[in-house]
Amino acid sequence: MKKIEHIGIAVKDLNVSNKLFSKLLGVSHYKEEEVLSEHVKTSFFKRGPNKIELLEAIDNEGPIAQFLEKKGEGVHHIAFEVDDIVAEIIRLKKEGFTILNETPKKGADNKLVAFVHPKSSNGVLIELCQDVSKEM
Ligand code: CO
């Protein structure tokens, strides 16, 4: 685990929240990206070294639609940057954490991602992400 790479926030309406977070942070989002496999549209903000990812469900399936229905808008996950996601998955499994996808998948923002089940991490969904922009 290295630093926190970003914090993910589930929102109902990405356009509305893009405007809200632009006002809050004083900068506009620098990209929007759909991740069809996750049924989400994302936008990213950067302030200093910190990034915020907003996530909107693009249909009624997928984890963000589920989350919004159960909990409403709010913090959805904390993402940590890792150098070697496969090694980190193995390490966390040995430590007793439940990994939601043991095979890393392609996430937004040129990342390979894997998630730790919130039941094994005090109710917080943890994303591991490895930057693969240089390899693509
Ligand atoms: Co994320």
Protein residues near ligand 1, an ion, with CB under 5 A: 8, 53, 79, 127
| Ligand 1 centroid, distance to 58 Cα (angstroms) | 16
Note the pLDDT of residue 133.
86
| Ligand 1 centroid, distance to 94 Cα (angstroms) | 23
Note the pLDDT of residue 136.
52
- 3-state SS string for the chain: CCCEEEEEEEECCHHHHHHHHHHHHCCCCCEEEEEHHHCEEEEEEEECCEEEEEEEECCCCCHHHHHHHHHCCEEEEEEEECCCHHHHHHHHHHCCCCECCCCCEECCCCEEEEEECHHHCCCCCEEEEEECCCCC
| Ligand 1 centroid, distance to 56 Cα (angstroms) | 12
- The pLDDT profile of the chain, 136 residues, written as one tens digit per residue, is 889 999 999 999 999 999 999 999 999 999 999 999 889 999 999 999 999 999 999 999 999 999 999 999 999 999 999 999 999 999 999 999 999 999 999 988 889 999 999 999 999 999 999 999 876 5
- Separation between Cα atoms, residue 112 and residue 84, nearest integer Å: 10
| Ligand 1 centroid, distance to 6 Cα (angstroms) | 7
pTM for the model: 0.93
> Taking the alpha carbons of 29, 125, 72, 33 in that order, is the dihedral positive or negative?
positive
Q: How many C-beta neighbours within 10 Å does residue 84 have?
A: 11
- Separation between Cα atoms, residue 124 and residue 8, nearest integer Å: 11
| Ligand 1 centroid, distance to 60 Cα (angstroms) | 19
| Ligand 1 centroid, distance to 129 Cα (angstroms) | 8
| Ligand 1 centroid, distance to 96 Cα (angstroms) | 22
| Ligand 1 centroid, distance to 65 Cα (angstroms) | 15
| Ligand 1 centroid, distance to 100 Cα (angstroms) | 14
Note the pLDDT of residue 109.
86
- Separation between Cα atoms, residue 72 and residue 64, nearest integer Å: 10
